[in-house]
Amino acid sequence: MKTIQHLFDNNKQWAEKISQEDPNFFQNLSEQQSPKYLWIGCSDSRVPANALLNMDPGEVFVHRNIANQVIHTDLNCLSVIQYAVDVLKVEHIIVCGHYGCGGIGAALDDKSYGLIDNWLRHIEDVYRFNKDKMDKITDPKERINLLCELNVIEQVANISNTMTLVNAWKRGQDITVHGLVYNLQDGILKDLEVSSNDRKHYFTKSIG
């Protein structure tokens, strides 16, 4: 059996380094978390939320899945959003995709990947909603990158239509949803400028 002793060694070094810089860091953090941000990003190992935001543990509440999707029936993601909004009272929800996303690429090709094909079906829906824009582009990489952006915009709309956000905004909670894309080539985040702090931006039908 292969061991992961090197991970325990890494962990010890990391904890010692932080404790040297701030002896009370872990004690303070263990007593409460009060992040201002919920990050919904891709599971891709190259897009770690805290690292690229230059934030310490405790500063960002994180949910990640393949191709950073917010599916209306995904209780995992919906529970994270509800807890972040209702209990932690985050001020910002960030959906972050990344250019060259393998999940987006897989949704665009004709291959079968097994169970995950069902998950990627939602990306194919985003393609269908934006078929005119997508079909104007022929370069495969550009098509993936455009769909990465369109997918983020769709997820911002999905979040804005969750009961959690609808109710939060109805009671006057100040919370803004943002759509970003991360560039693996230079480490820079791009704001897609689709921020929403009111459901009217992504209104689909009246609730309540």
Q: Site residues (CB under 5 A) for Zn ion? A: 42, 44, 101, 103
**Tokens representing 202?**
């992504």
Helix or strand or coil: residue 92? strand
**Tokens representing 19?**
């404790």
CB count in 10 Å sphere of residue 117? 13
Q: Please identify which residue in the block is written with the tokens 């005119």.
A: 132
Residue 35 or 105 with smaller CB distance to Zn ion: 105
Residue 58 or 100 with smaller CB distance to Zn ion: 100
- For residue 98, the minimal CB distance to Zn ion (Å) is 5
Q: Which residue among 96, 101, 143, 148 is the active-site one?
A: 101
- For residue 162, the minimal CB distance to Zn ion (Å) is 22
Q: Which residue among 42, 77, 96, 148 is the active-site one?
A: 42
42 is catalytic: yes
CA distance 202 to 168: 15
- For residue 83, the minimal CB distance to Zn ion (Å) is 24
Residue 152 or 177 with smaller CB distance to Zn ion: 152
Q: Please identify which residue in the block is written with the tokens 């009272």.
A: 89
- For residue 147, the minimal CB distance to Zn ion (Å) is 11
Nearest 10 degrees: CA dihedral of 190, 194, 198, 203? -150
44 is catalytic: yes
Residue 86 or 142 with smaller CB distance to Zn ion: 142
Q: Which residue among 63, 77, 96, 98 is the active-site one?
A: 98
96 is catalytic: no
| 8 A C-beta contact, residue 104 and residue 181 | no
- For residue 89, the minimal CB distance to Zn ion (Å) is 29
Residue 151 or 164 with smaller CB distance to Zn ion: 151
CA distance 168 to 163: 8
| 8 A C-beta contact, residue 40 and residue 93 | yes
Burial class (CB in 10 A: 0-12, 13-18, 19+), 12: exposed
Active-site annotation, residues: 42, 44, 46, 98, 101
